[in-house]
Amino acid sequence: MRRVPSAILTFAFALLAGCAEAPVSAPLAQGASATVTARGETVPVGTGEDAADDPAIWRNPRRPADSLVVATDKRAGLHLYDLAGRHLDFAPSPRLNNVDLRADVALDGGRGIIVAASDRANEAQARIALFRLDSAARKLVPLGNPAAGAGEAYGLCLWRRASDKALFAFVVMKDGRIDQFRIGAEARPSAQLVRQLRLGTQSEGCVADDRTGMLYVAEEDVGIWRFAADPSAPATPVPGPRVDRRFLVADAEGLAIAPKGRSGGWLIGSSQGDDAYAVWRLPDLKPVGRFRIGAGQFGATSQTDGIEIALGNFGPEFPKGLMVAQDGDNAPSMQNFKLVSWDDIAKALHLK
């Protein structure tokens, strides 16, 4: 989302919440940032006007270099790319916004890779667009789009419960309401509402940690909040990092997790207001550094919306992991997605 933040609205909500400080009225100096460069990029999306939005990554465990990236063009549909950035497939849909996936899910009578996207074609009726990723054929197969409540579906992320492998989707409505659905796809696609959460103003980016059962949501002008992801848990948000115009600059957008061990690793957030990415340590969310994707063979990123990170071997260009980031200004071409080596990020920020 690209808009001028409302300081008045943010301040009012901070008073109500009692735990979120309002941004100061004048911008502060930008925080220091390391710089990395992309090792690849996707071909541009086919439409303009802020179209590219959010990526998801499937890692091929047998042939890591043959892993795949799924990404939204929110004015056209869902794209599938390889790690060289080549376009492999396209599933048309007029207004898909955010996307996430999980592998080894009960699907179509067997096991497979499920892809879910927030469908905002009808601003009064949210839906979840579901697809099967056929990794062998490298195709996206539509499954259906079950209803997901009243409102405009904006953000979306998936969570798989460790205890029983049940799959849930969090759909972040544009007004800050977050609806949690249990997803079924063994026979026909279904979405059962199990809980509602709420933030005070416009929110979008979210990510859920399958290891710890923690959900992180970015309220664009306020900061990052935490919820327990299990539907039986309290719906009370716990404040995390705030928009402070130094470390995290509004709009706070995409979120991703780089896991380490049972509960450690890092949370990464798109600091869209200054074209940077903020990194916090898990689980305590202590800030550890910031970085930018700078000019290089594939160009810099700016105004990034969605991001995704997956660790592990992805082949020679991405030996320890992959970050995919939407590029809001890929001029003279349309927007696209940059591919960055996690090893480059970890070395730039001295992450261990």
pLDDT tens-digit readout, 21-78 = 333 323 334 558 999 999 999 999 988 778 999 999 999 999 999 999 999 999 999 9
Specify if 9 maps to a domain: no
Predicted confidence at residue 18, as pLDDT, reads: 34
Mean pLDDT, to the nearest integer, of 258-266? 97
CATH number at residue 239: 2.120.10.30
pLDDT in the model for residue 100? 98
* Segment 168-203, tens digit of pLDDT: 999 999 999 999 999 998 878 999 999 999 999 999
For residue 2, is pLDDT > 70?
no
At residue 330, the pLDDT reads 94
d(CA 293, CA 296): 9
Mean pLDDT of 284-308: 97
DSSP 3-state of 322: strand
Query: Within a domain: residue 5?
Result: no
| Region of poorest pLDDT, from 8-17, 139-148, 231-240, 251-260 | 8-17
Residue 140 lies in a domain: yes
Which of 52-56, 112-116, 122-126 comes out lowest in average pLDDT? 122-126
Whether 126 is in a domain gets the answer yes
What domain range is 309 assigned to?
32-349
Count of structural domains within the chain = 1
Res. 15: pLDDT tops 70: no
Beta-strand pair 286-294/34-37: parallel
CA distance 334 to 76: 13
Q: Is 25 a member of any domain?
A: no
Kindly report each contact of residues 19-27 with a partner whose C-beta sits within 8 Å and lies 24 or more positions away, as own/partner: 19/239, 20/222, 20/223, 20/239, 20/242, 21/242, 21/244, 23/221, 23/243, 23/244, 23/245, 23/250, 24/245, 27/245
pTM score, two decimals?
Answer: 0.91
